Amino acid sequence: MEKIQIPTLGPETTDVAEVVKGCEKVVIDCGVIELSDERLSEMMKIARGEGVTDFILRNVCGQTLIGTGIKGPAKIDVHGLMGNHCAAFMDQTVLNTYATNFPNGVWCPGDAQVAIGNTSNPTELNIGGSVDDLFASYSPSGMFRVAGQGGNRCGLRGGAGVPKAWRQVDYDSLSDMNKDEIKEDLLYKYQLRKARLNAVGWREFLTQYERKVENREPPTLVFGRKVRDYFMEYAQGTIGVILNVYDIDDPAGYYICSGMTAGTAYIRGKVSEDRLGERVKFAPLTDEDAKFLRKVILDFHETFHDRMNDEYKTRIDALKDGVSGDSEEIISQFNKITPAG
């Protein structure tokens, strides 16, 4: 059987659509700083439009907008440093970052900078290094993992999950409509809702919509090391976990979960009450919490074990071993934080 050639795109590539035609997987060599942010984003969107589902990005050095607006199912592997505003508005896509060595021998971590995953719905977003401020802010859903640490306001205004009804909308049917047709369609749908409201009454009308949005899966954020101030500020359903793999004092900054209206934070290690934000409190761990945290730790270990240095591996091995049996020692080290009422 003839081996399928995986094309490589680079700064010199002009006709992306022609190069990737018929391919599901491509390599994009960013040339460290040779490929501009806008051109890289454009190339990825063209390739995705041609049916590419698997992207390998090499020699990435601070390029922004990577994966922004990409709709899956798709997979993106980034080797190097991911710049600001990457993975924003991404949907049903797996994105991983890895440390790499540039052609000149300089080592580059698998970090990501500011506002990564903004308003994003990834299947998984796995950062092999650390992130800066506003990670996963305004995210409605998805699994977010960071091997290292997070900056300020990570998880800001995180949501409570994407309603299944949103996934059932046929957006392609709207793409060819002009403005007048769109207005007519919206007016017709409004009239249908108004008629149903008049027929069943306000209370039953609300109950019908509640059924459409229940069983949603909120975004889950898991950090390996620590997070700075305002973790999960104004969260509206987000689940956040800080594993504190290095057992440091104060694994979270101040104003933890300030203004959170729904959701839960689990922080392993010492958390003094003066670090909590407004209108949140400590709560006792339940059997369901223990079951959830065990799965989080095992999945985190599986995701990052082969990417990290020996000391980090040893520490997450210890966490894994500590939750694999019946021991409650590791689980008991977590503080649970919930809305105050």
pLDDT in tens, 60-69: 999 999 999 9
pTM: 0.89
- Please, where are the H alpha helices in the chain? 16-20, 37-49, 164-167, 179-200, 202-213, 287-304, 310-324, 329-332
Dihedral in degrees, nearest 10, Cα atoms 27, 33, 38, 43: -20
Collapsing DSSP states into helix, strand and coil, what is residue 289? Answer: helix
Q: What integer best gives the mean pLDDT of the chain?
A: 93
Check pLDDT > 90 for residue 215. no
Residue 55's identity, in one-letter code, is: F
pLDDT in tens, 103-118: 999 999 999 999 999 9
Q: Shortest CA distance to 95 belongs to which of 118, 60, 64, 127?
A: 127
Give me the count of residues in the chain. 341
Exposed e or buried b for every residue in 181-218, given b needs 16+ CB within 10 A?
eeeeeeeeeeeeeeeeeeeeeeeebeeeeeeeeeebeb
Domain ranges in the chain? 8-162+219-339, 165-213
For 173, phi then psi, to 5°, come to -70, -15
CA distances from 285 to 154, 156, 267, 290, 291 (A): 23, 24, 12, 7, 10
Q: Which fold has domain 8-162+219-339?
A: Pectate Lyase C-like (2.160.20)
* pLDDT reported for residue 208: 78
pLDDT in tens, 265-321: 999 999 999 999 999 999 999 999 999 999 999 999 999 999 999 999 999 999 999
